Amino acid sequence: MRYAFLVAWREYAENIKTKGFWIGIFMFPVMILLSFTAGSWIEKTKSVRTFVLVDQSGKLGQPIDAALERLHQREIFTAFGTYVQKNLAQRSKRETIDLEKTPAFDAEKALEKWGNDNPEMLDAFVKEGGLAAALAQVKPMLRPDAPEFSEPRRGIRKVPLPAGIDANLPPAELAEKLKPYLRGDQQVAFDGENGAHDSATLFAAVIVPADALEHVVRPGPSVDPEAEKHGLQYWSSNLADEDLKDAIERAVNEEVRRLEYVGKGMDADLVRGVERTHLVIAALDPKKEAGEETVSLADKIRQWAPAGFVYLLWVAIFTIAQMLLNNTIEEKSNRIIEVLLSSVTPGELMMGKLGGIAAVGLTMIGAWMLSLVSILEWKAGQEAEIARELLKVLQSSGLLSWFVIYFVLGYLLYAGVFLAIGSLCNTLKEAQNMMGPAMIVMIVPLLTMAFIPKEPNGTLATVLSWIPIYTPYVMMNRAAADPPMFDRVGTLILLVLTTITMLWLSGRIFRIGILRTGQPPKFMELVRWVRGT
């Protein structure tokens, strides 16, 4: 064991000196930092969506303008809320967030529903002084050194028709006139901020034909063949970004329905109020104690956190096992392995390599976790408070313990395979050919990662759990769903036995293949090696 430990220490020391190791260490915190700032940075660098609106019907232009204004006000609300939470005075005296008592909700859906159900509140916000009034109200609660609030710029700008284009042209001719501006061949001129003249490529053109409202699609078996031809036209060369199209579509359809109510002699505001009336649906968990059955954010985290652990498990195992494979092939091709085997046995060398590379992997994961905690402490804010509570939830759920167990067993299982492959190959090219089938096998857990939490005790999850090469990933994914004890214990025992068998088989192959040169052996030759004949 002493020699195996020395080999492990050598492997560890050699690998932590490599550039790849330190790049891997520092890339994770860089990615975390970017995740904090990338969203706002992308939003700031995103080009303004400039469009023209030609409403020949005279009835849909105002609703579209109002909808886009509400969209901008919602962006201001979101940015203003983030600004306030980051700059509140006496942060340490605020009540700590308790994820166990916070009902589960989708913040993005809640904000969208609030904005759709309460457009009047946005209008009132503007009438009552808008952002200036809100800033005046919260200023006494902010830190003395709080920076000035920077209002989000308008991501969508409506501009007039280019000079020389008649808005009364038939839609087809009007579109032809606008195509050069949409393709970027010509720039549309407009008055920018502070009255300065500006120009830009036209992002989109919206044309509402004069008879568009005469071709409204209504429920029924009959279909208006002219509906698409005479409907609203949205022209844009950017097919990926449909935010503007979706906002206009919602605004137009809301106005069409309002006109329908009025046309049928109904009070449109009364009907709209009825449409916004809803009943709250409480999500309850029958496994929780009486009085605490409400599904909380902590419960949601426990449900979906295993999927994140599976991804981390996959990355860690694949990275470390790949490192083991590359090191083995490099030492074999450079004849270093022969020098090592003059001092230690093949078994001690194999054990040392497994232990040394595993230590490298644990060091890398530990550094990632430490950098994550450090960045959260540095950034502070509500995001850090939630993240700290998240760590508490994960610790109390037992998921971290299962992660360590499945990481060790999964690493040893796959490392045995990779080590055997490395001992059989003389070059990385040969190893890559043999790695193809192994990669196909390893990709399966990623493909099923999003589906298993939805049915953790279903047929697919249960079957994959009993396949040892998938057990670490699938059982980690099922951990939060309280799988049957038979599955937990049975799959763990099977995984341990399979890992021991795989290491034994790899050892039999390693002791002969590590000194072999030339072409990789045939399958039957491998069988003879395993049998010792």
440-452: per-residue pLDDT in tens?
877 887 787 778 8
Residue-range domain boundaries for the chain: 2-30+296-531, 49-275
* Mean pLDDT for the stretch of residues 456-481: 86
39 with 381: CB under 8 angstroms?
no
Predicted confidence at residue 337, as pLDDT, reads 74
Say what the pLDDT of residue 94 is.
Answer: 45
- Residue 497 pLDDT: 94
Average pLDDT rounded to a whole number, residues 448-477 = 86
CA 430 vs CA 108, 425, 439, 520: distances in Å: 49, 6, 15, 8
What is the sign, positive or negative, of the torsion defined by CA atoms of 246, 248, 251, 252? negative
Percent share of the chain, pLDDT over 70: 78
Of residues 20 and 54, more confidence is placed in: 54
- Tell me the pLDDT tens digit for each residue of 195-218: 667 788 899 999 999 888 887 887
Task: Check if the beta carbon of residue 76 is closer than 8 Å to that of residue 131.
Answer: yes
**pLDDT of 86 above 90:** no
**Residue 398 scores a pLDDT above 80:** no
Of residues 458 and 100, the one with the higher pLDDT is 458
Average confidence (pLDDT) over 469-475: 88
With cut-offs at 50, 70 and 90, classify the pLDDT of residue 114.
Answer: very low
Q: What is the mean pLDDT of residues 148-162?
A: 85
More confident residue, 85 or 251: 251
Amino acid 205: pLDDT: 93
Q: Examine the pLDDT at 89 and tell me if it is beyond 80.
A: no
Q: How confident is the model at residue 196, as a pLDDT?
A: 67
Average pLDDT over residues 247-265: 89
Q: What is the pLDDT of residues 57-81, one digit of tens each?
A: 999 999 999 888 888 877 887 787 7
pTM for the full predicted model: 0.62
In our burial notation (b when 16+ CB lie closer than 10 A, e otherwise), range 449-467 reads beebbeebeeeebbebbee
Provide the 3-class DSSP secondary structure of residue 157: strand
For the residues 24-30, what does the mean pLDDT come to? 79
